[in-house]
Amino acid sequence: MLSVYISTLIAFVSFFAPQQQSKVPDLFKGNFADDYGIKYSINDTLWIQQPRSKYHIIKWNTKEQYIVARNDAQNPGEGGLYTRIDYMQFSNMEPWKWGFCLSVYDAKTDAIAESTAKADRQNPKKGCGGYPFSRMKRLN
């Protein structure tokens, strides 16, 4: 009887456990500066935009190239809300290796942020709500 209970409990917990996320490519982790001179530090769980904005990463979707994050409560604006960051790699644009777009930064839930219209990666010069993707280069 106990073994049936334990098996049922394990199956139940496994069903509701968070799905493992894709491994985040090293290209997107580290210290960066964008083409506006803003500096960033990015790892698996935190996106910091200097000087005062932090985004706590909930999900990296490497297949569809976006991140869902919760805005830090101490951010200058939209604290505690949710953000979707779409990103893409660049070719032949040295030193810019990749770029990003804050597709939404004020969603009430992570599900709303995730389902918000995507950026247009086919047109990185205007594909971020009519603006260009911010281009990123690694800092040493």
Distances in Å between the alpha carbon of 82 and those of 78, 93, 132?
8, 30, 21
Residue 125 lies in a domain: yes
6 in any annotated domain: no
Number of domains composing the chain: 1
107-133 per-position pLDDT tens digit: 999 999 999 978 999 999 999 999 999
In-domain check, residue 2? no
| Element containing residue 31 per DSSP (H, E) | strand 30-34
Domain span at residue 62 reads 22-138
Q: Please report whether residue 14 resides in a domain.
A: no
Q: What is the pLDDT of residues 55-106, one digit of tens each?
A: 999 999 999 999 999 999 999 999 999 999 999 999 999 999 999 999 999 9
Does residue 9 fall inside a structural domain? no
Among candidates 64, 66, 42, which has minimal Cα distance to 55? 42
Q: How confident is the model at residue 1 (pLDDT cuts 50, 70, 90)?
A: low
Supply angle C-alpha 39, 50, 41, rounded to 5.
60
